[in-house]
Structure 1
Amino acid sequence: MTIKEPSKKIVIVGGVALGAGAAAKARRMDENAEIIMIERGPYVSFANCGLPYYLGDEITDRDALLLNTPESLKSRFNIDVRVLEEAVELDRAKKLLTVRKVDSGEQYQLPYDKLVLAMGAKPIIPPLPGIGLSGVFSLRTVPDVDQIKAWVSSQNAKRAVVIGAGFIGLETVENLASIGVEVTLVEKAPQVLPPFDPEMTALALRELDKMGAEVILGDGIASFEGVNRATTVTLESGRKLEADMFLLGIGVRPENGLAKQAGLELGTAGALQVNEYLQTSDPDIYSGGDMAEIIHLVDGQRRWIPLAGPANKQGRVIGVNVCGGQEKFLGAQGTSIVRVGKATLATTGFAEKTARALGLNFFTSYNTAGHHAGYYPGAKDMTIKLMVENPSGRLLGAEVAGREGVDKRVDVLATAIAAHMTVSDIAALDLAYAPPFSAAKDPVIMAAMAAENVQHGVIDVVHSIDDLPAEDVNVLDVRRDDEVIEGMLPGAINIPLDELRDRVGELDASKHWIVYCRSGQRSYFATQLLKRVGFPHVYNLSGGYIVQEMKQEVLSRQQQDEAGHSKEHVAAR
């Protein structure tokens, strides 16, 4: 059999989702291409999203994290994988890559026809005093988690400070707590999970409390102290925290050193500019994943969205296009989900604060419902927040917080955003129903119907009892007597919904009334009743008592932290 000459040389710098995916797809497209992967670390394809769960022994098999090895990629796809080699210089004119062997420092030049930059992102390590001391870690790679696990064992670590309350930070807190480590979580922003709107993080705060984790918000780190290893971190407020180990989860930034050296065009976030085919400003160089800006599906603008899902899909697109294809990557919308204890929080599209910062014309709507039929045992509350464009009703974003079924609902809403659906379209969806799985009106349907009522003016809503002038407003609580024992909003009077028709004469129809119940559904019924009997100024409190509790919980936590920081500043002086 005659061996064909390679059709082209494809060089891929970096592995994991983007690089390994591009290599495998390129081989499926072209059997004769020479495909070479360069990887600075010892592992070319691993599940970095699984690292916190390996740290906490929820994943017990370390090898399960290694999705592909150089040997498996060679035997299955005939890909030449070179680990512990680093691309240090790129000559675009000559189409030459200078590669350095990590162990020996030896360098060689590697020509290419098509080049893929898939180095991803690197952890943010601020240049703070003491940050280079042993005992200060980041969690990004398999060697990172190996070092952390070895440190926990060798140092018998019992106390940890996790810095950064994003997705990885919270997953790290949960998994350290699960192996008996006492954790303090520090976040410079005034909330955990900064991509979410603040009130939607209340459930995460409750779960962190149950884990025994101390949460410090609105405070950054200033320095680390220690002799042979870090033993103390000093916060910007002056507060000092002692621990056996410190984990940085401040965030990541694109690994763009090689791209900058080669003069490739960068976007505002420092990530590479790529077109719809994922070509950089050099048409023979492709990139994506954590290294590149992509189209955001909500508004069509280019943004940096460093998530594993889009990166995997982009690897496939690049694999096609380096072999002569013309496949487009349409974009992403930041769909994310995280587990914190027994709670799950998910988001897709724009948060309210993002839509507001962009100056969009929109409204928000909340709805809380059980994740399956209420009469079937075990139904758990799920709160859905929708961001809806005015006047079209198009869904711009959604956030979901609950204990069960959150993943299903956020995926439906993510699909709706990608399809440019309105809340009326979503309310009309035909979703699966059986009592163990959902209600006849799924929480997604209920949330869309509530938003549809707002859009069409069926109901007037407010989001706080402070939204209207206090002198003009009365507040009506239509919950049952047994529910108001939990507490009432300031100044509210209680008439249960089932008694309202007979007791409406007790209310002054000339006043403005804000009506609320537990979740917003019964108060919707109440507002409609009051309007029909001649009350002209009636408003439903969106999300009801549940959302007000969430807002107050987060606000109280922020105020406690602010008070604590002030005391620390005084003590430091």
Structure 2
Amino acid sequence: MKVAVIGCTHAGTAAIVETAKRYPEAEITVYERNDNISFLSCGIALYVGGVVKDAQGLFYSSPEKMKELGVKMHMLHDVTDIDIENHTLHVRDLQTDEQREDTFDKLIITTGSWPIVPKFEGVDLNNILLCKNYNHSNTIIEKAKDATNIVVIGAGYIGIELVEAFEESGKHVTLVDMEDRIMPKYLDPEFTAPVEASFQERGVKLALGEKVERFEGTDGNVSAVVTNKGRYDADLVILCIGFKPNTELFQGQLEMLDNGAIKVDAYMRASHPDVMAAGDCCSVLYNPTGEQVYIPLATNAVRMGTIAACNLTENRMRSLGTQGTSGIKIYEHHIASTGLTEAAAEQLGMNVATSTLVDTYRPTFMPTAEPLTLKVVYEADTRRILGAQLASTIDLTPAINTMSVCIQNNMTMDELAVVDFFFQPHFNKPWNYLNAVALQTWNEAH
């Protein structure tokens, strides 16, 4: 069996390792545009900020490790054309420009995503950078050394983490986003407002609710970012606007979402029986709504890559979908979320209710008892849990993994109120905060 894999970051690495282990007789050939694999881009801000001293620690595999598994690794090779029906592909060696054709019996598409770059006027000026891969991270660090004014465009997780890293490095930082607050996809306003206040206390300029119109430059280098509401000096600009799936190669051959994400079933099989897809290039079942959506996350990618390999020849392992569970630490704020926010649910026209608990996480007779804020979003009629958000000055974020399981299993607030959780004064109260946030709604309803 000839297995071709296109792309080798999170989903690709997981799929290749599982394929090599599960099908020892298979001939596995990997085509990767870059000169490295398995880079944890979520660690870029830690690298930029000096928390991670050696970027090599952000790689969890290598072409050499793959070759030890008997995999044929073709680094710096670009697949330029593919005929899925006839099981053929054309590839170009980016170093020699040599081109050749290859065939496959099974295809695993793990081409990932790429940053969205709108066609702003002046976007081709020097020192306007992307933040996605290892080479980007090195360029950002090198350019930031001589930069005084840094503008980050995009207030999602990556942008927020970079702002913190730059501010702590002594830079003058401006954060621009067309939304009126930070991290709107993941959190409701009561969770984002404290982080915004922390940024402002440290001198970060928040240019929120502003649309970038153009970049201005001097001698070919960026000098300012101009929005519909202001002008901001910039020696360095980082674009963190979002991501799109890398799937142009498969247009017209596989079913896709409107944004180009390849549609897959619960076994990671695309619309052609010999094609699997996983990771940031494809759709995923979003359990709170039951819809196929695009959620590029490393956790989804690794899980989907493994599942795709398991089902390469027959359906063995079924994906359970995702809640889009994620977490972030900014200064003293430890925050995590899963599922729908209240704002997102309302935008979808869903009839939801919420329960918010503001409390200490453990008894006040303990030496410290830091506060927490926990919010749960649920269907008003059925009381089915749809989402949750948690914030504290200490790390309580693992509790959101529990809430993810609750959503996964269609639990209701009434059930969460009486779920069995342990009690120990070092960690919680006799009524765990996950019980308590649900119990207060039960009291209101009954």
Residue 21 of structure 2 is matched in structure 1 by 28
Q: Which amino acid aligns with 2:54?
A: D
CA distance in 2, matches of 1:202, 1:69: 41
1:135 equivalent in alignment to 2:111:
no
Partner of 1:211: 202
Distance 1:167 1:406 in 2: 18
When the two chains are superposed, the root-mean-square deviation of aligned CA atoms in Å is 1.4
Instruction: Give, as a single letter, the amino acid of the residue that structure 2 aligns with 1:38.
Output: Y
CA drift of 1:74 comes to: 1.1
Of 323-332 and 32-41, the range deviating more from structure 2: 323-332
Pair 1:355-2:358 in alignment: no
Q: Which residue does 1:57 correspond to in 2?
A: 50
Change (3 A) 1:269 1:406: farther
For residues 30-49 of structure 1, the aligned pairs below 5 Å read 30-49=23-42
Residues 414-470 of structure 1 deviation map (CA, whole Å, 9 limit, x = unaligned): 11111211112111122232222222222211111112223x2x4xxxxxxxxxxxx
- Tell me the CA shift for residue 346 of structure 1: 1.6
- Helix, strand or coil for the counterpart of 1:52? helix
Q: Is the 8 A contact 2:248 2:260 kept in 1?
A: no
| Distance in 1 between residues matched to 2:411 and 2:85, nearest whole Å | 46
Structure 1's unaligned 5+ residue stretches are 1-7, 459-573
- Separation (CA, whole Å) in 1 of partners of 2:70 and 2:422: 44
Q: What's the counterpart of residue 324 of structure 2?
A: 334
Alpha carbons of structure 1 residues 427 and 405: separation in structure 2 relative to 1, 3 Å: farther
Q: Which aligned pairs between 1:66-465 and structure 2 lie closer than 5 A?
A: 66-75=59-68, 77-153=69-145, 156-195=146-185, 196-226=187-217, 227-237=219-229, 239-260=230-251, 262-454=252-444, 456=445, 458=446
Once the two structures are overlaid, the 10-residue window that deviates more, 308-317 or 424-433, is: 424-433
User: Which secondary structure does the structure 2 equivalent of 1:71 belong to?
Assistant: helix
- Report if the CA contact (8 A) 2:267-2:315 is conserved: no
Q: Deviation per CA, 1:151-188: give whole Å up to 9, x if none.
A: 123xx222200011000000111111222222111111
Gaps of 5+ in 2: none
Aligned residues: 444
Instruction: Tell me if the contact between 1:124 and 1:250 (Cα under 8 Å) persists in the aligned partners.
Output: yes
Deviation, 1:368, is 0.7
Aligned residues of 1:386 and 1:451 also touching (Cα < 8 A): no
1:357–1:228 Cα change, 3 Å: closer
Q: Distance in 1 between matches of 2:272 and 2:313?
A: 16
Deviation of 1:208 after TM superposition, in Å, equals: 1.4
Cα distance in 1, alignment partners of residues 271 and 313 from structure 2: 18
Which SS does the other structure have where 2:194 is aligned? helix
| Partner residue in 2 for 1:3 | none
Q: Does the CA contact (< 8 Å) of 2:391 and 2:397 recur in 1?
A: no
Q: Which has the larger radius of gyration?
A: 1
Out of 6, 10, 18, which is 1:13 matched to? 6
Aligned counterparts of 2:234 and 2:213: Cα–Cα separation in 1: 15
Secondary structure at the aligned position of 2:21 is classed as helix
Q: Deviation digits for residues 121-168 of structure 1, max 9, x if unmatched?
A: 110111111111111011100000011111123xx2222000110000
Q: In the aligned structure 2, how far is the partner of 1:259 from the partner of 1:406?
A: 42
User: Quick one: distance in 1 between partners of 2:74 and 2:442?
Assistant: 56
Structure 1 residue 212: deviation in Å?
A: 2.4
Deviation at 1:325, TM superposition (A): 4.1
Q: Deviation per CA, 1:275-297, whole angstroms, max 9, x where unpaired?
A: 11111111111112111112111
Name the CA distance, whole Å, in 1 between partners of 2:309 and 2:9: 14
Partner SS for 1:53: helix
- 1:478-557 → structure 2 map (5 Å cutoff): none
**Which portions of structure 1, spanning 4 or more consecutive aligned residues, are displaced by more than 4 angstroms?**
none
C-alpha distance in 2 between matches for 1:78 and 1:451 = 56
* Distance in 2 of aligned mates of 1:141 and 1:170: 17
Q: TM-score, normalised by structure 2?
A: 0.96
Please say which of residues 341-350 and 426-435 is displaced more in the overlay: 426-435
In the aligned structure 2, how far is the partner of 1:355 from the partner of 1:47?
31
Q: Secondary structure at the match of 2:139?
A: helix
Is the 8 Å Cα contact of residues 384 and 400 (structure 1) preserved in structure 2? Answer: yes
- Give 1:11's aligned amino acid: A
The residue type equivalent to 1:348 in the other structure is T
Tell me, in whole angstroms, the C-alpha distance in 2 between the residues paired with 1:129 and 1:361: 42
2: CA distance between counterparts of 1:64 and 1:172? 19
